[in-house]
Amino acid sequence: MEVFDVRVHLLWSDILIFILVASLLCFVASVLKNPLARGRWAKVFESRIGAASFMVILFYVLIALTDSLHFQKRLEATAESTDVHYAPEMTSVLDLILAPMLDRDEKTYSAPFAIYSFAKENIESDDGTVVREFPRLEHGGSHITMEEQHVADIVVKSLTAIGWTLVPILIVLFIHHWYIRKEGSRLPWPVIYFTFSAIVVVSSWALQMSQYYHVLGTDKVGQDVLYGAIKAIRTGVLIGTLATLVTLPLAVLLGISAGYFRGWVDDVVQYIYTTLNSIPGILLIAASVLLINVYIETNPEQFKLLSDRADFRFIALCFILGMTSWTGLCRLLRAETLKVSQLEYVQAAHAFGVSRWRVIMRHILPNTTHIILIALVLDFSAFVLAEAVLSYIGVGVDSSMKSWGNMINEARSELAREPVVWWSVIAAFILMFTLVLAANLFSDRVRDVFDPRMSGSGDNS
């Protein structure tokens, strides 16, 4: 699809993430129509932890969505040819937002907010002699003429950026609070206001400061580390979501079938997941990824762009992770189904001749929903961490794809330097830790509300 001077180019992962968002909106609509479900989910968001963690997750998802709108820029026409050509590299809407961090590459490493390079170079002085010194960065702090202005400039620009961001936020929040006070609401608005303000202020501050400095330094080839860490959010969110959704159908179908039908069905399902568990997961994933790499190398005509190749490997990795990680949820559902199927109202349904399919849909599945919801969120966190581990050992996403695992993998040699180049690892760790922590806290609140065995969970927790 061509639009003005760009051509829209959606990857398969882009299409999948928008399908997931549409499915999520349909789920929200169905919850709003169901008073019982609406009341339960309301308890999740009426807690301080649930509301704050959900806003953090939503912020990550919004970044992933903006990074999933890809297009190719039109190249300038030449005198030799009038044909229209487009750039081979992909650009996303997020790249436009992060424009201050692009096209500001340095020669090599530089520390956060530094104005000098991290490595010494041979510099020719005014009198012609060659000295070994730390050269000034080409972009970072280039507006500073005197080194003594460095710290004061960072403080002034930071306070200015925070002030100009806080003023409109406070006005909007004051108007919203006045309206909510008239309407009445049980949501923890102070926590929501604080979380929203913190997210917006930190994001705005980082974008504005990136116009003058490399906020989290640069890597070995001089690229901005903050840009790479933010671009990796899409990889983390997608791999956690897609792999989890691949796990769900297998685990639900086989787990409930084994617990409800028993007999030879239970024996077959147990044999399958016992056999799969006996194979080391990392070896199975590594072997599958190698097979995918062989397919890509032997069929280059199917991947016109480097981004298409990386995207295919990424989707394959999500599928592989899901296919090798469904056994845990399957066992939980089997055990819960064995218990629920013996309850009196289920036995009464059988006595009245209710079909097995109707019993499963009306009695078994609703009573195992809390396990599915909790497992979904916990598996999301596990898959985000798994991507980092797999990329670290070289069997994760493509090296050309921004991910926290690739950042940590590339930082292995940096940690052996003297002095240590620590900012790449710290940047990946902070963003990954924030996402996983928010997902785990949200899953804890979902468990407290939906698990019938949990009691005494206060609404203000």
pLDDT at 457: 44
Q: Rounded to an integer, what distance in angstroms lies between the CA atom of residue 438 and that of residue 54?
A: 7
pLDDT at 84: 65
Q: Rounded to an integer, what distance in angstroms lies between the CA atom of residue 214 and that of residue 224?
A: 6
pLDDT at 320: 86
Residue segments in the chain with a per-residue pLDDT below the cut of 50: 1-3, 455-460
Give this prediction's pTM: 0.85
Q: Rounded to an integer, what distance in angstroms lies between the CA atom of residue 102 and that of residue 112?
A: 16
Q: Rounded to an integer, what distance in angstroms lies between the CA atom of residue 436 and that of residue 382?
A: 8
pLDDT at 2: 46
pLDDT at 459: 46
Reference 104, options 146, 143, 160; nearest CA is 143
Structure tokens at 221: 């080839």
pLDDT at 81: 57
Burial class (CB within 10 angstroms; exposed 0-12, middle 13-18, buried 19+) of 61 = buried
Residues 6+ apart with CB under 8 A from 429: 404, 408
Cis ω before 366 (30° cut-off from 0)? no
Burial class (CB within 10 angstroms; exposed 0-12, middle 13-18, buried 19+) of 187 = middle
Structure tokens at 404: 């926290």
